[in-house]
Structure 1
Amino acid sequence: MHLLTWITIFTVLGGVLSIIAASVFLLVPDKHHERLLPHGISFALGALLGVAFLDLLPHMFEQAGEQQTKSLLVTLLAGILVFFLLEKLLLWRHCHAQDCEAHIHAHEDRRTHGHQPAGTLIVFGDAIHNFVDGVLIAAAFLTDIQLGIVTSLAVTAHEIPQELGDFIILLQSGYSRGKALFYNLLSSLGTLAGGVLAYFSLAHIHDALPYFLAVAASSFIYVAVADLIPTLHKKTHARSTLQQMLLILAGISLIALVQHFVAGLEGK
C-alpha cells in the first residue's frame, strides 16, 4: 500500500474514532443536559488546561531550539491577545444583528441570544491542534509504518478527552447536539490536511510546527480562562466549588493518564 494511503487512512480514522468516542454525550437525554452541563464545563476546563500545559506546550519546547524559546512565548502571548480581539469582533458582529443590550447577557441565556464566541474559538483552536497532529502522524509514517500506526493510536487516545471537552463547550455555547458533532467532525479534517500537506512538504512545515502548537495552546488557554472560569464563578457555594475543583482535577488527571499511556506506546 502506498505511504500516502497509509497516512490518509490513519489521519481520518484517528479523528473520526476520537469524535465518536467523545460524542457519547449524545446518548444523554435532553432533559438531563441542564443539570450535567455545569459539571461538564468543569471537566472541560481541566481537559483544556491539561492539553495545553501537559501536551501542547511541552511538545512545543521539545521541538524548538533554545533560540526559539522567546519567540515562541511571544507567539503564545500574541495568540491570547488575537483570540481576545477575535472574540470582540464576534461580539460586535452579533450586535449588528441584534440588540446589543440583550447581547451583553448572552452568557446568561444562550438559547435566547444565540451562540457564544467560545464555540467558534474552540473549533478554530481544535482545527489547528488537529493539523499539527496530522503532521506528526505523517512524519512518523515517513520514518516507519509501524511507528506511524503507533503514533496514530497515541493521537487518538489523547484526542478523546479533549474532543469530549470541546463537545461540551459547543453545547454550552448554544449549539445543538447535531451542530456540535458536525463542527467537531469538521475540525477533525485538520488532521487529514496536516497529514497530506506534510507528506508533500514536511521539510518546510516541520520548522513551523512549534508555532502552530503555540497558537493552539493559546486558544485553549484563552477559552479556559476567559470563558469557562467566569461561568464556573457564577456558583459560589462551597459544595459547588468543591465539585468544580474535583471535576477540573479529573479532567487534568485524565489527560495526564493518557499522556502516560501514550509514552508507553511510544516506548519512552
Structure 2
Amino acid sequence: MGPFSWTVATTVGISLIAWIGVFTLFLRDELVDRLLLVLVALAAGGLIGGAFLHLLPQAIADAGSQDTFSLFLWFIGGFCLFFALEQFIHWHHHHAVTHEHEPVSYLVLLSDTLHNFIDGLVVAAAFLSSVPLGLVTAAAIALHEIPQEIGDFGVLVYGGFDRRQALVLNYLTQSTVVLGGVVGAFLGGALTGVPTVLLPFAAGNFVYIASSDLIPEIKQETDLRRSVVYFAVFLTGIGLMLAVRFLRSVASRPDVF
C-alpha cells in the first residue's frame, strides 16, 4: 500500500469513532439525562487538554526556530471568531420565532469539523514521511478522538439534538478527517506551513467553547457530591489527553521501530 491508500484507510477508520455514542440508543432516557452533564464535563476537559497539550505544542514544534508570536495571534483569532459567532447565533435565536438547539451545539460542530480536517492533513503528512510514522500518528489521533467524540455527542444531545441526530451530525463532522487526508495526500509539500497556523486557531476554538459554554454549565450544579464528580470527570478529560500525549511521544521515538 502507498501513502495515499494508508491515509484513506486510517482516516476512514478514525471517522468511524464518531459512532461510539450508539450505545446510548439502548439506554433509558432518564439514565441518558443523568449522564449528559458528565459527558459535558468530559468534553470540557478534553477540549482544554486537546488545546494545551496537543494543538499548541504541536504548532510550536512545527514552527521551530521561527517567531511563535504569530501562533498566539492565531490562537486569539480562533477564540475571538467563536466569540463573535456565538454572539451572532444568540442574536439569531433571540429574533427567531422558535429555536430548538443551543448555540454551543453549532460551535461544537464547526470546531470539530475544522479540527478533524486538520487531523486528516496531519495524518497525510505523516504517511508521506513514512508508513510507521503515519501509523503512530493515526493511532494517537484515534486515541484522543475517543473521549472527545463521546463528550461532543453529549454536548449535542444536551444542546437539543436527539440521540440519532447527534450521532449522524457527529459522524458528518468526524468524516472531514477523510477529506483532510485526501487533500493532504494530493497536495503534499504544497501545504507546508498551512496546518501550523490552523492548529492554534483550532485551539482557540476549543478553549472558547470549554471556558464560555461547557464549564459554566457544570458550575451551575449546587449539589456538592455531583460538583465533585463533574470536576473529577473534567480532570479525567485532561488526563486522557495527557496520557495520549505521553503514549505518542513514546511511540514516536526512533528506537521503537
**Cα pair distance change 1:29/1:237, threshold 3 Å:** closer
Matches of 1:145 and 1:42 in 2, distance apart? 36
Q: Is residue 10 of structure 1 aligned with residue 10 of structure 2? A: yes
TM-score by length of 1: 0.87
Q: Is residue 157 of structure 1 aligned with residue 157 of structure 2? A: no
Identity %: 36
Q: How many angstroms does 1:22 deviate by? A: 4.9
1:68 counterpart SS class: coil
Decide which of 179, 187, 190 is 2:165's aligned counterpart. 179
Q: Is residue 199 of structure 1 aligned with residue 198 of structure 2? A: no
* CA shift digits 1:215-257 (9 cap, x unpaired): 2111111111111122122123432332222111111112212
Q: How many angstroms does 1:29 deviate by? A: 2.3
Contact 1:22 1:160 in 2 (8 A): no
Contact 2:21 2:167 in 1 (8 A): no
Contact 1:154 1:265 in 2 (8 A): no
Contact 1:55 1:259 in 2 (8 A): yes
Contact 2:102 2:159 in 1 (8 A): yes
Matches of 2:237 and 2:24 in 1, distance apart? 15
Q: How many angstroms does 1:262 deviate by? A: 2.5
Task: Tell me the equivalent position of 1:98.
Answer: 97
Task: Tell me the equivalent position of 2:229.
Answer: 243
Task: Tell me the equivalent position of 1:212.
Answer: 198
1:212 maps to amino acid: L
5+ residue gaps in structure 2?
none
Q: How many angstroms does 1:114 deviate by? A: 1.0
2:67 counterpart SS class: helix
Q: How many angstroms does 1:60 deviate by? A: 1.3
1:257 maps to amino acid: A
Q: How many angstroms does 1:2 deviate by? A: 4.2
5+ residue gaps in structure 1?
100-112
Matched residues, number:
254
Alignment root-mean-square deviation, CA: 1.9
Decide which of 184, 194, 212 is 1:226's aligned counterpart. 212
**Cα pair distance change 1:213/1:9, threshold 3 Å:** same
* CA shift digits 1:2-61 (9 cap, x unpaired): 432222121111221x22335444443222122221222222211111111111111111
2:57 maps to amino acid: P
